[in-house]
Amino acid sequence: MTSAIRTFGNRPCALTVCRGCCCGDVRKHPGTDHAGQLARLREAAARSGGRLAVRTSDCLGPCGQANVVVVQPSTEGRRRGGRAAWVGWALDDDSTDEILAWVAAGGPGIAKPPATLELQFFPAPVESRTAKKR
């Protein structure tokens, strides 16, 4: 579900928030306010004036890194070389704060991610499979 208005021909930075079998599951990660995290991200999108979109997805695959959030660049960010960043272990308020700070600054291709958030990046599952075949 997308909770922000898209600007035609100029897609905003977008967060894909995994909410499959493990991400967002209180039995797997009981110490995390999963609903609160998603609410904060959606509120930020609603306040962004169309510069941020948030959607949820079913399992993206790398359940061992739950909660997974994929930060996708805006059209401008992609034009400047930004690529999707897969963030794993997004279980605490610090992770959510840093994701929101990064996308508020422009996200991939526009702004450098917070150094501590960068430590949570991992290769996209397709890239991992491709790298293993080499």
Residues that bind ligand FES (CB under 6 A): 18, 20-23, 59-63, 66, 68
In the complex with ligand FES, the residue whose CB is nearer, 21 or 101, is: 21
In angstroms, give the least distance from the CB of 107 to ligand FES: 21
Q: How far apart are CB 62 and ligand FES at their closest, in Å?
A: 5
To the nearest whole angstrom, how small is the minimum distance from the Cβ of residue 78 to ligand FES? 23
Measured between alpha carbons, how far is 106 from 84 in angstroms, rounded to an integer? 13
> What gap in Å lies between CA 37 and CA 95, rounded to an integer?
10
Of 80, 71, 74, whose CA–CA distance to 102 is shortest? 71
Q: How far is the CB of 19 from ligand FES (least distance, A)?
A: 7
Closer residue to ligand FES (CB): 5 or 84: 84
For ligand FES, which is the closer residue by CB, 61 or 109? Answer: 61
Edge to edge, the sheet with strand 69-72 lists 52-57, 13-18, 69-72, 85-87, 121-122
Query: Cβ closer to ligand FES: 104 or 122?
Result: 122
**E strands of 1-134, at which residues?**
13-18, 52-57, 69-72, 85-87, 121-122
